[in-house]
Amino acid sequence: MQRAPEYWRNQRIYLQLIGSKCKDCGKVYFPPRQYCSNCGSRNLEEYKLPEKGKLLAWTIVRSPSREFEEYAPYVLGYIELDDGTRIIAQITDVELNELKSGMRLRAVIRKGFVEEDSGIIRYIYKFVPEE
Ligand SMILES: [Zn+2]
């Protein structure tokens, strides 16, 4: 079981899309890291990722892990945010036949899953088509 501070730290990172940026080479990581694998620096700062971007590619998940079973099948997208950072996230509120590479997306907070032990509802970010 996760300790409470770690839980809230993770919530903050995932709900606000907070990554880290290397002050030496400018490389951005999400989730955040302490160490830049691009240039070897440990000089990283917190970095707020843009909440909009475009869809590069996607896959349909039909057999997810147990926590996400109720959402299956769902779409997992490879997304390029407006600053060029690429992340993987669930895409929701879209029909499969509406998916197009290059389509605009924006981040939203949605119910993720309920923890089995504690019954705590976990919220996660997902992406929806930008209107
Ligand atoms: Zn670096």
* pLDDT tens track for 72-97: 888 999 999 999 999 999 999 999 89
Domain range summary for the chain, segments of one domain joined by +: 1-49, 50-131
Each as own residue / partner, the long-range contacts of residues 105-109 (CB below 8 Å, 24 or more positions apart, any chain) are 105/52, 105/53, 105/54, 105/55, 105/77, 105/79, 105/129, 105/130, 106/51, 106/52, 106/130, 107/17, 107/51, 107/52, 109/15
How far away, in angstroms, is 111 Cα from ligand 1 center? 34
How far away, in angstroms, is 1 Cα from ligand 1 center? 33
CATH of 50-131, one of 3.40.1130, 2.40.50, 2.40.128, 3.10.450: 2.40.50
Q: Kindly indicate the confidence band of residue 111, based on its pLDDT and cuts at 50, 70 and 90.
A: confident
How far away, in angstroms, is 35 Cα from ligand 1 center? 8
Q: Per the confidence metrics, is the pTM higher than 0.85?
A: no
